[in-house]
Amino acid sequence: MTDAASPLLSVPGAVRAEGLDDGVAAHYGNPNVEQRRLEDGTAIVDLSHAGVVSITGPDRLTWLNSISSQALDRLAPGESSETLILDPQGRIEYDAHVVDDGVTTWLLVDRVETTGLFTWLDRMRFTLRVEVADRTEEFATIGTMATDAAAIGLDVAAPNGVPLVWRDPWSEIAVGGWQYASDVEHPAADWRFSEVLVPRASLADLAERAVSGTPALAGTLALDAVRIAAWRPRFSTEVDERSIPHELDWLRSAVHLDKGCYRGQETVAKVHNLGHPPRRLVMLHLDGSDTVLPAHGDEVFAERKRPETEAGWREVGSVTSSAMHHELGPIALAVIRRGVPVDAPLEVHTAETGEVVAAAQVVVVPPEAGATAGIPRMPRLGIRR
């Protein structure tokens, strides 16, 4: 796994990101313009700090199918998918963007996942005909919303003759998936994001051509803004040690509800059919009057709607991602308790500045998510009806 600074940081105007995205550019001088270029398909986002894991061998797809949440055993060459590795209690351990080229299955992952996922997969091979490798030093990830990556100047890797382009399935409900946000027009309909693998050695040439504006560059701030507006979860930000797929509406793209058993499948089925996820994802419209943007982990509070003895505010969750969107203004994703009313006034307490930011929630996962089996409750013994 590489921790080196990207050659694209040498482009004039590049401002290096901090934290999770250190090593690539947060922006190139104007994040709002970069968002528009990203949305119209003329810009690319440097994601070369992300990890790339490859799996070869004739058992690779059936093996992945048996240990992860998505149906992958019939993945065709060039087809894209997304899958989750869960623990036995159904909590999310890893998220992988999957594309197969007929010879090798490629997993595109956040940097923080790479070493752990590679180690876990390598340990789970047993006697199967599969080989796992960390290919991050060879291939770099570039994000774009262009329909043709080669047409905007990307040297798309194709070691086995199939271009390695992962097209995000978030734009629609995957086969076997489920969407909890069913009562609204989902903003993911306009989400056309792809991740393209290029030879890492080609980044220096890409940086030289980007100086002249072809292709245009957008930073991670621009990508975060359009991702949040599409309600798209990211492993590094939205997932914590308690997260299950239902809370983030991830059954939409990364879980097949009708496939065979896999680790954590019992929890996935039980919560979806009989229970409710304990927390839920929301998008927040933030008050921008003080130009304060909350950070990851800042606490979300809801106003109590109880008798005067319980008046006040209570902590109900935390911000996972935030951004300044070129049309929507300051927005964020947050994970809050399931029982918070959908019309409850919310506010975010910022840890860095101590300021309080008013927020209005847009429901992504509704409080009633789950319990799809519709089994009626039986009356308790001894109670007359």
pLDDT for the residue 185: 82
pLDDT for the residue 96: 98
pLDDT for the residue 269: 96
pLDDT for the residue 306: 63
* Cα end-to-end distance, the chain, whole Å: 64
pLDDT for the residue 385: 44
pLDDT per residue rounded down to tens, the chain (385 residues): 567 899 999 999 999 999 999 999 999 999 999 999 999 999 999 999 999 999 999 999 999 999 999 999 999 999 999 999 999 999 999 999 999 999 999 999 999 999 999 999 999 999 999 999 999 999 999 999 999 999 999 999 999 999 999 999 999 999 999 999 876 789 998 999 999 999 999 999 999 999 988 899 999 999 999 999 999 999 999 999 999 999 999 999 999 999 989 999 999 999 999 999 999 999 999 998 888 899 999 999 999 876 554 568 999 999 999 999 999 999 999 999 999 999 999 999 999 999 999 999 999 999 999 999 765 555 555 544 4
In order, the DSSP letters of 153-189 are T-----TTSS--EEEPGGGSPPTT---S--SS--GGG
In order, the DSSP letters of 73-121 are TTPPTT-EEEEEEE-TTS-EEEEEEEEE-SSEEEEEE-HHHHHHHHHHH
pLDDT for the residue 304: 81
CA distance 302 to 294: 16
Contacts 24+ apart (CB under 8 A), 3-6: 3/49, 6/46, 6/48, 6/49, 6/140, 6/203
CA distance 213 to 210: 5
In order, the DSSP letters of 270-304 are HHHHT---SEEEEEEEEP-TT-----TT-EEEEE-
Report which of 103, 102, 151, 121 is spatially closest to residue 51, judged by C-alpha positions: 121
